[in-house]
Amino acid sequence: MRLSARPIAALVAALALTAGLSITGTPAVARSDDRAAAAEASDVSIAADTYTWKNARIDGGGFVPGIVFNRSEKNLAYARTDIGGAYRWDQAGKRWTPLLDWVDWDRWGWSGVVSLASDTAEPDNVYAAVGTYTNSWDPTNGAVLRSSDRGASWKAATLPFKLGGNMPGRGMGERLAVDPNKNSVLYLGAPSGNGLWRSTDSGVTWSEVTAFPNPGNYAQDPSDTSGYGNDNQGIVWVTFDERSGSAGSTTQDIYVGVADKENTVYRSTDGGSTWSRIAGQPTGYLAHKGVLDSSTGHLYLTLSDTGGPYDGAKGRIWRYDTESGAWTDVSPVAEADTYYGFGGISVDRQKPGTLMATAYSSWWPDTQIFRSTDSGATWTQAWDYSSYPNRSNRYTLDVSSVPWLSWGANPAPPETAPKLGWMTESLEIDPFDSDRMMYGTGATVYGTEDLTSWDSGGTFTITPMVKGLEETAVNDLASPPSGAPLLSALGDIGGFRHTDLDAVPAMMFTSPNLDSTTSLDFAEASPGTVVRVGNADAAPHIGFSTDNGANWFQGSEPSGVTGGGTVAAAADGSGFVWSPEGAGVHHTTGYGTSWTASTGIPAGATVESDRKNPKKFYGFSAGTFYVSTDGGATFTAKATGLPAEGNIRFKALPGTEGDIWLAGGAPTGAYGLWRSTDSGASFTRFSGVEQADSVGFGKAASGASYRTVFVSAKIGGVRGIFRSTDAGAGWTRINDDAHQWAWTGAAITGDPRVYGRVYVSTNGRGIQVGESSDTDGPGTDPGPGTDPGTDPGEPPADADCSVTYTVTNRWSGGFQAEVKLTNTGTAAYDGWKLGWTFPGDQRIGQIWNASHQQTGAKVTVTDAGWNGKVAPGSSAAFGFTGTTTGDGTAPGAFTLGGEACAVG
């Protein structure tokens, strides 16, 4: 569906949607006022035991289009990704901290970050413009998130239009900017013809700047009818000249970049009241960035003939003298010699006149980085040709911390492995340290801490600065009973054999290298046998391993294959069934030296294997389940009446023939979780599961007769990750509102060797690993209403703690409260449990930054893992919504581990 150019902005002159929820801690939750709090409360969300969550380390894996340093506080920096949220730099750990893991299923688009802005006047303030697609693919409008605690908690203002963190032109920016002199004023450049927007109350409300004359007109591909390539990229950056204002007064001179090749830069000299095109500006190009060096008064533009981030065949760099009005072409090379556009640009705030820029679309032989110390009059390059094809590099590139960045390649000169980068739309020199620079690529964040060696003729060292930033899109997961605990199928970088979940794998799957792995499987009784399929420009699209994925060899394929599809391995590894794109379902014995078309099953069906009978395979297509008992040669239609719409994923239970669980559907039709115990002849739906999208199995609980089942589902009105230890009779939500990761529907699997461990796919936040504190594994999960085990009644002694309980909001039948627990002792808490007894009939509904149990009026709240360690003098905080028929009177006493706390 095409989004019209301007009607939304015209009909909604002023937006005033204020965020409703403010949460303390990291990560956190945000919710707009347009969603009723009571509708989100459900006892189903109560966790039976505490789960801790982490990533299976890959480090990077996706495009980082923006890096933002705060200009008033050292070491405060943020990074944005196109689909995987935003991050804050942790200098002590030299790693990135995720800030948007709370984004939920319904608003998954908010995991795409269009722009970031860090407040110079008040460094605790940070803003994020979020939304993934501007067309119908994203069901929700964009929003501007605001935080007053560096992203530990957020409030949201939903916009009357969509934003596109994963749209063409996403490397341009920053579209969002805070007035450095009057920080209550912010500007946002909108796509899709929606113009320029402004907030004068620190991002709480937004309205269109109707005086701005040009909403842009450039689209990557006007012939595209999907709303993707043909979307107007709009207003692409905003830059303030801080010299034209003083503290507390609005900055007068503001520069705005527009996606219009003939009119790409506008300026206001009266604080945004009026705007005009700057005369004499370059034409025929789009200004990807506009950066102003306040020490010299120079505005620098990096320009390209396209919006990027993939394309761009010509580019320039221009300098505008804000005092004289003179424009100067300061490009490092002649226009005729460019085959790329310029994107990233940064000025050294410690050394006026020093700047750097990137050739973002120089894919071959490598990206190029340029540096000038004389305001662009002359430049040097990160690498030159010594004698073609040999290169002379000013840098050394050490990827030992993320070795897969070499892709296992050994290219002929002038290419190198690893490469300096590609899609290098962001490059920033630390405003406090001339030696530190970071830049984003299509796969990582690189950086250096000895940059000025460039100027003295020495070499500087570039290393990945990406730890903690996990941005892969996960298509499939497998956890074999022996060998590596986890095998992954990923978009863009293929996938990995994860032998240590806390270490970066040495290399992705190779031989063949697949752009994206779409499906993988192992033989249940012979886990050394593994198969994977995926997308590539040409054959092969399939690979086999006989050593549990450590080494691979290429397989042949049927005629007509264009993509990976799904694949299944026989339980003993004797054969395989493959349903590729571009060809029908096929089967083979051995390792795919020849393939034979299967009969009785439609092309495009999803295929899986029985995990006990090596001759039995299953398929699903358009509401019908198919079964083969002859190794995939022939299939017979069995159960019907299953979901005919949406994505369907099903798995067979290891060790038991014919036990199949099927998840999927669509809100417009059948949607849920089904089980068959007769090899797909019939299925029974789980009535308590409203929606489900993926299902997997893990080690059985102690004393349980059935393997643990994990689902990404909606149960009891709550979306989340759920676990059952009694074959689906009861379910426990094991994630929390701080750990939702937007969309988790592609794959889920438990670990057959570790009770409670679960691996969850995300679309941009990598592989999430959940570990249960309940390591012994009870026979069944305690459900809601179980005695929490700690009696917060009469305390036996006094504890070193103080509690502040604040009711922050009330409504008919409900309330919202925030609780702060302060460590008043001399030793750190290593985990905490806070108890109290409600004086009335209050019941906790939704809780964030903690988990809880409630029996009657008695409540026990347990830390969320990441906030369990509380140093002396420090605090941990959490919040919740509750229901009551009274006035929600606050508790009068609190206990920590059963001992009394002071009440603040």
Name residues whose C-beta falls within 8 Å of residue 520's C-beta, 6 or more positions apart in sequence.
476, 478, 487, 488, 489, 495, 530, 531, 532, 533, 567
- The b-or-e profile of 695-717 (16+ CB within 10 A means b, else e) is bbbbbbbeebebbbbbbbbbbbe
Which residue stretches of 100-189 are H helix? none
The span from the CA of 446 to the CA of 426, in Å, is 11
The span from the CA of 490 to the CA of 508, in Å, is 10
Alpha-carbon dihedral sign for residues 659, 664, 669, 673: positive
Collapse the DSSP code of 380 into the 3-class scheme (helix H, G, I; strand E, B; otherwise coil) and give the result.
strand
The span from the CA of 540 to the CA of 535, in Å, is 9
**Which amino acid type is present at position 836?**
W
Choose among 513, 500, 509, 550: nearest CA to 528.
Answer: 550
Number of other residues whose CB lies within 10 A of the CB of residue 335: 12
The end-to-end CA distance of the chain, in Å, is 54
Name residues whose C-beta falls within 8 Å of residue 529's C-beta, 6 or more positions apart in sequence.
522, 523, 544, 545, 546, 569, 573
Can you read off the two tokens belonging to residue 178? 């805070």
The span from the CA of 568 to the CA of 587, in Å, is 10
The span from the CA of 491 to the CA of 471, in Å, is 10
Choose among 746, 751, 719: nearest CA to 735.
Answer: 719
Q: Quick one: which H or E segment has residue 547? A: none
Q: 27: cis peptide before it, omega within 30°?
A: yes
Torsion of CA 233, 6, 269, 308, to 10 degrees: 0
The span from the CA of 492 to the CA of 765, in Å, is 14
Phi/psi at 83 (nearest 5 deg)? -135, -5
The span from the CA of 221 to the CA of 748, in Å, is 37
DSSP β-ladder status, 395-397 and 460-464: parallel
**Which entry of 59, 82, 610, 659 is annotated as an active-site residue?**
82
Number of other residues whose CB lies within 10 A of the CB of residue 398: 12
Residue 334, classified by CB atoms within 10 Å of its CB into exposed (0-12), middle (13-18) or buried (19+), is: exposed
Residue 546, by phi and psi: left (phi above 0), alpha (psi -120 to 50) or beta? alpha
User: Cα 572–574–580 angle (5° rounding)?
Assistant: 110
Choose among 608, 632, 606: nearest CA to 621.
Answer: 606
Distances from the Cα of 182 to the Cαs of 122, 186, 200, in angstroms? Answer: 10, 9, 9
Choose among 649, 648, 659, 729: nearest CA to 689.
Answer: 729
The span from the CA of 744 to the CA of 474, in Å, is 9
Q: 98: cis peptide before it, omega within 30°?
A: no
Q: Are 14 and 160 in contact (CB under 8 A)?
A: no
Active site residue 82: yes
Which residue stretches of 3-136 are H helix? 7-11
Number of other residues whose CB lies within 10 A of the CB of residue 797: 9
**Which entry of 49, 138, 253, 492 is annotated as an active-site residue?**
492
Question: Count of H helices and E strands in the chain?
Answer: 1, 70
The span from the CA of 761 to the CA of 738, in Å, is 16
In the block, residue with structure tokens 């689909």: 83
Enumerate the active-site residues: 82, 492
